[in-house]
Amino acid sequence: MTNAVDLEKRFGAANYAPLPVTIVRGEGVHLWDDKGRRYLDMLGAYSAVSFGHCHPRLVRALTEQAGRLDILSRVYSNDRLGPFLARACELTGMDRALPMNTGAEAVETALKAARKWAYTVKGVAHDRAEIIAAEGNFHGRTIAVTGLSTVAQYRDGFGPFPPGLVLVPFGDAAALEAAITPNTACFLVEPIQGEGGIVVPPQGYFTDVERICRAHDVLLICDEIQTGLGRTGKLLAYQHEGITPDGVTLGKALGGGLFPVSMFLATDEVMGVFNPGDHGSTYGGNPIAAAVGLAALDLLVEDRLVERAADLGDYLLARLNALDSPAIAEVRGRGLFVGIEIHERAASALDVVEALMGAGVLTKETHRNTVRLAPPFVIEKAEIDEAVDCLAEVLDDITAEALAPSASH
């Protein structure tokens, strides 16, 4: 009988190269493969599983709503959406929210809002609005945001890209100010670059960015799809510098790891550019998504998971910084959003990831030869110790192998 992986390879597009493990079950911070082996999940589905796998409260919200009312589209109002939007605005301090499904859709929504704001509020000439983003960014896979990428593979074969897309170095506020023109609509930026290698900007960067955007009448939009909802030890990562952007995108953890839920939140001025028919989504804001999203936000607050991520993040970073391994070039991150950059002369990050998988710890490499760690917030310190101890052993083995004299012939 053909197994599931063979069917995936035969009938699926080859746009992923999964690690050689087939997961069949998850609970909390653990995953089990088709052979019954248990693994510690240190990836958390790129921050989507912040609450742990199959959290009973979230599963209950999903199943109860699915048994009562499923999808309407936004042709009619439903009784779940309003409370969800109100809770999201209350927690983030934004005035209005526009729900979508995926992070990429939330970013596209933000860019459409920024462009229309530029024309209808700022007074930019028709079709001249510019979007500025940071080099090394990852805002999704759509044509527009691929045009803002600096990763050659992400762009190769997908052009031509829309005009009006500008890039500046991440962490360089002076470069941002130099790139702004009268046509600039917004600066779209991740508070910490995730896919770019868990890159934390210099302290004070976002304070300067906010000042520059205000001075030049440019919208500041923070992409918090990976970093938001407690991941870095604050509800939103931009709060580490106490700034207030004009808009923010949320996704991943917003769906509790169970359902695709995203949204763009913004001020009244920005969101006011939308009129009925300007933008929409068949599934965006559906009752199941709203019920799960509201339950996720309530759980985040009631179980004090943001504070938990801050405490456990400090513990994880302390453990990692105490490792005495020549294979480690740098440890970066905030909260439970951490990257370990591996010296290229020692090993590839993929080698480390594969060795960790063999030791029962699942994660994934990213750019700058970095191993990323973004476990669920329900992880315990003993499980962090388990993961770090496994990493130490893997790095010791890799270092010993790299330094071993070549066999003579």
Residues in contact with 7: Cβ distance below 8 Å, sequence separation at least 6, in sequence order = none
Give pLDDT, residue 400: 79
- Is-cis flag, bond preceding 160, omega within 30? yes
Q: Which of 84, 138, 259, 377 is catalytic?
A: 138
Q: Which of 252, 274, 337, 351 is catalytic?
A: 252
Per the CB < 8 A criterion, the answer to whether 48 and 296 are in contact is: no
- The dihedral built from the CA positions of residue 340, 345, 351 and 355, taken in this order, carries a sign that is negative
CATH architecture of the domain covering 56-302: 3-Layer(aba) Sandwich (3.40)
What are the residue ranges of helices labelled H in 47-80? 56-66
Report whether CATH 3.90.1150.10 matches the domain 4-54+304-403: yes
Indicate the residue type of 206: F
User: Is 9 annotated in the active site?
Assistant: no
User: Is 223 annotated in the active site?
Assistant: yes
Q: What is the mean pLDDT of each run of 10 residues along the chain (409 residues)?
A: 87 95 97 97 97 98 98 95 98 98 98 98 98 97 95 95 97 98 98 97 98 98 98 98 98 98 98 97 97 98 98 98 96 98 95 97 97 98 98 92 56
Give pLDDT, residue 403: 60
Distance between start and end Cα atoms, the chain: 46
For residue 136, count CB atoms less than 10 angstroms from its CB and return exposed for 0-12, middle for 13-18, buried for 19 or more.
buried
User: Is 79 annotated in the active site?
Assistant: no
Q: Which of 41, 172, 208, 223 is catalytic?
A: 223
Q: Could you give phi then psi for residue 10, rounded to 5 degrees? A: -75, -40
Give pLDDT, residue 401: 77
Radius of gyration of the chain (CA): 22
Residues in contact with 331: Cβ distance below 8 Å, sequence separation at least 6, in sequence order = 317, 320, 321, 338, 339, 340, 341
SS3 letters for 209-224?
HHHHHHHCCCEEEEEC
Give pLDDT, residue 408: 42
Among 15, 40, 25, 21, residue whose Cα is nearest residue 374: 40
Per the CB < 8 A criterion, the answer to whether 241 and 276 are in contact is: no
The residue extents of the domains of the chain are 4-54+304-403, 56-302
| CA–CA dist 48, 103 (Å, integer) | 11
Give pLDDT, residue 108: 98
